[in-house]
Amino acid sequence: CKWKSPETRRWSRFAVLVQSAPALWSPTYTSRRLVVPNNYKHVCLFSQSAANMAEEAKKLAAYAAVDNHIQNNQVVGVGSGSTIVYAVDRLAERVRQEKLNIVCVPTSFQARQLILQHGLTLSDLDRHPELDVAIDGADEVDEDLTLIKGGGGCLTQEKIVAGCAKHFVVIADYRKDSIALGQQWKKGVPIEVIPMAHVPISRTIAKRFGGEAHLRMAVSKAGPVVTDNSNFILDWKFEHAQNWKEVNTAIKMIPGVVETGLFVGMAERAYFGMEDGSVQVRDPPVN
């Protein structure tokens, strides 16, 4: 939660000293005791409850996918992001309980660390170029199961691994479910690019497809985000719905583009953890 006043924001670290604040707002401090609005506690509890609900929804979707798609003697592609953490938890649990023989291929440094931390068998595409199933999250999923991925910067490896799998399954919470791309996810389509080409690529995308493509800047380092492949990421904020298959192909043909975060016609099933504790399953439409 954030304080409404910039002055009091500096003192937010003292909020822990006030467990039962009076129902009175005061901008003053006495002995480092902060007096807060009466509804502050309710705002915090609401925010925490919403966050907990989303995390539980991620877990429900992840567990359902692992339970429905993982079998003995499989090679499994392990995606990246916050939801995949629960999938690896469940996968490791089943491996221990059912003595499953599972080999895991990661899509990122994060996925590799998760596999190792859970004591699962780590491999790569050199040794296992064909996967039985890949499970990954998404930033947004539309009604056709077209995805936006790459919010975590791992889109290229994620698409490679998904493309090597016989079955590609998506897991997400209810916030990622949309009728059309852009309805929920407002940060745009990630596009991995060769660093020297990021300016001409951003100009070309804006000119040909509208919107704006901005270089993604890092939070805990100076300068741009650098992918596992030592490339940059542009986030293209599009203005309206597109023919995503055509746009994806056209953007990939721009010199310097490595990959896009558009996953078109790749997912065969999506699992959404819902607010009411259920899991919604979606298959692509039959043409």
Contact assessment for residue 161 and residue 77, using Cβ atoms and an 8 Å cutoff? yes
Residue of 158, 192, 268, 275 marked catalytic? 158
Burial label, 167 (beta-carbon count in 10 A; 0-12, 13-18, 19+)? middle
Could you confirm whether 246 is annotated as catalytic? no
Helix and strand numbers, DSSP H then E, in the chain: 7, 16
Q: Which residue has the tokens 């056209």?
A: 250
Q: Which ranges constitute the DSSP H helices of the chain?
A: 6-9, 40-69, 82-98, 109-117, 155-163, 198-209, 244-252
Q: Is the distance from CB of 105 to CB of 128 less than 8 angstroms? A: yes
Distances from the Cα of 41 to the Cα of 18, 25, 26, 223, 247, angstroms: 10, 13, 16, 37, 47
CA angle, residues 238, 239, 241, in degrees to nearest 5 = 85
Instruction: Give the catalytic positions in this structure.
Output: 158
